[in-house]
Structure 1
Amino acid sequence: MSTKTKKQDQVDTLEQETNQYEIVLFNDDVNTFDFVIDSLIEVCEHTLEQAEQCTILVHYKGKCTVKTGEYNELKSRCTKLLSKGLSAEIV
């Protein structure tokens, strides 16, 4: 593999990484574990196990990345989480 090809691969990888955003869910004292779990299953298409793990992380760590992807894909999901009364943002 030539040096030019290696450098192009690195550029392509960097471009893919920079187009990735995250929805971060934050802890609150309002919503129940079950509500957050159900919301993550519905909005982020998590499995039950994923939703439970994220909910526990949010509770104990204060926040958790619940979904990654392109901004346009995440925007509607984040809006749905916010409309359910959860605290989330895209970073």
Structure 2
Amino acid sequence: MSTIEKVQEEVLVEEAVGVNNEIVLHNDDVNTFDHVIDTLIRVCKHDELQAEQCALLVHYKGKCTVKTGPIDQLKPQCSALLDAGLSAEII
């Protein structure tokens, strides 16, 4: 005689609500590396190395996520990037 055992398992799934928005910076042929780096430092509070890496990714890959967070925090930062002449969007 064989015994069949059934096991029921509970799985907890946590969802990060409101933190999955991103500012994506797009490449352009207008702005210099120095301008992009300085703007990322000023607007997104990047350190110099992080800003430089983002600028390189944008240049070679065409785009880069430069900031994540709640939409109400990202909107003014994205606007500041746009005001500085950069091409950015919130997704």
Q: TM-score range by the shorter chain?
A: 0.7 to 0.9
Comparing both structures, which one devotes a greater share of its residues to helix?
Answer: 1
Shift of 1:18: 5.6
Partner of 2:86: 86
RMSD, aligned α-carbons: 1.4
> Is 1:64 the counterpart of 2:64 in the alignment?
yes
Matched residue pairs, number? Answer: 83
Taking structure 2 as the reference length, what is the TM-score of the superposition?
A: 0.85
Matched AA of 1:27 = N
| Max Rg structure | 2
Cα offset for 1:20? 1.6
- Within 5 Å, which residues of 2 pair with 1:1-91? 3=10, 6-7=11-12, 10=13, 13-14=14-15, 16=16, 19-91=19-91
Cα distance in 2, alignment partners of residues 42 and 90 from structure 1: 18
Counting aligned pairs with the same residue, the percent is 59
